[in-house]
Amino acid sequence: MTPDGTPNRYAIPFWPEGERPRERLIAEGAPRLTTAELLAIILRTGSPGRSAVDLARRLLQDQEGLGGLETAEPAALAAATGMGPAKIAQIKAALELGRRLLAEVERGAHPRITGSQDVLALCAPRLRGLQRERCDLLFLNGGNDVVGLETLSEGSLTESPVNVRDIVERANRRHAAAVILVHNHPSGHSQPSAGDRALTEELVQAGDLLRLPLLDHVIIGRRDHYSFADHGLIAEYRRRPRRSS
């Protein structure tokens, strides 16, 4: 409701049912939602003239992503119109739960990766909404259980440098049998660039040579993701003759 008691026509309940974040989460799964839409579900309501999704987008923009929301003081969040103690507490609680989930992974609560949807569920909360491109690395044992998750590199809006030697050294410390590369596109589009394709081919061939296979490279966009394995490119790169050094 608006301050004068009239309905807020911007509110999510007035949206078509197929566009409402809560209904979409139930129907399509949480990984299909943007960071702003997930945050809007936590906020539940917006402010006069602004939906919960609008409020969530503004918060993510002002705080430069989920990392900024996690470290922001309550007073800084309260400066946004529509943000009261309840909403601030809800955000902080949700982010703390996410942090504890990642801590469980590091301590050895080993989720199993059976496909790109599992990668998306684990990594999308870390990467969606970031303003800079970041590469994460999943370390897997012989049964495809995750034995570690690390940030490999962080770059500009358009690139995040990846070093093959660094990957191998990290994997050896984890006693990993295989790895999966995951990175975000701050532009929101998940389609791989020419550089993404060249890097993936290099990592596939180097990994096979060093007996550290790259099982997939997943790019996380705003609403979708791209899996090199799902598109048959990991297998294709594996069949190609190795490039001479």
Q: Over the stretch 161-216, which tens digit does the pLDDT of each residue have? A: 788 888 999 999 999 999 999 999 988 899 999 999 999 999 999 999 999 999 99
Sequence-ordered list of residues with C-beta below 8 angstroms from that of 107, at least 6 positions apart, any chain:
none
Q: What is the pLDDT of residue 108?
A: 60
Let me know if 127 is exposed, middle or buried by CB neighbors in 10 A (0-12, 13-18, 19+).
buried
Read off the pLDDT of residues 58-87 as tens digits, 9 standing for 90 and up: 999 898 888 788 888 999 999 988 899 999
- What global pTM score does this model have? 0.65
Confidence of residue 42 (pLDDT cuts 50, 70, 90): very high
Sequence-ordered list of residues with C-beta below 8 angstroms from that of 118, at least 6 positions apart, any chain:
111, 112
Q: Residues of 136-146 as b/e, b for ≥16 C-beta within 10 angstroms? A: bbbbbbeebeb
